[in-house]
């Protein structure tokens, strides 16, 4: 299986359990590895046969900006459902991070793997 990836896609959203987190958008960072077969697009050199990572990024930006989840775990699950079902991806490894959420750490979050 081939992998198409997006690294460190930064999006501002409402996320968190504390009152202040419900009032102001925070930065989340997404990194995705998406399993697919790139043979057809490589042979035709056509975006129509490819997993369009720009389309994936635009869809996720739109979704995440409008979301208001309490947990990064919930956000990760919903993102995985979008990628797997809307883009025909067979397998996904997704990292959702909240940079600066814990004093002294660069990033905290979850990494999940899902498949259809």
State the catalytic residues: 98
- Spatial distance between the Cα atoms of 87 and 47, rounded to a whole number of angstroms: 13
- Spatial distance between the Cα atoms of 36 and 32, rounded to a whole number of angstroms: 13
- Spatial distance between the Cα atoms of 94 and 112, rounded to a whole number of angstroms: 5
- Spatial distance between the Cα atoms of 60 and 101, rounded to a whole number of angstroms: 21
Q: Is 100 left (phi over 0), alpha (psi -120 to 50) or beta?
A: left
């Amino acid at each position: 299986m081939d992998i198409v990836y997006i690294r460190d896609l930064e999006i501002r959203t409402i996320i968190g359990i504390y009152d202040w987190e419900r009032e102001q958008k925070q930065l989340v960072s997404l990194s995705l590895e998406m399993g697919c077969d790139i043979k057809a697009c490589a042979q035709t050199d056509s975006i129509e046969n490819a997993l369009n990572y720009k389309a994936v990024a635009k869809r996720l930006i739109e979704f995440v900006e409008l979301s208001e989840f309490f947990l990064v775990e919930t956000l990760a699950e919903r993102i995985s459902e979008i990628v797997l079902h809307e883009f025909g991806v067979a397998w996904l490894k997704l990292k959702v991070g909240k940079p600066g959420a814990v004093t002294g750490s660069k990033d905290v979050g979850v990494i999940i793997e899902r498949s259809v």
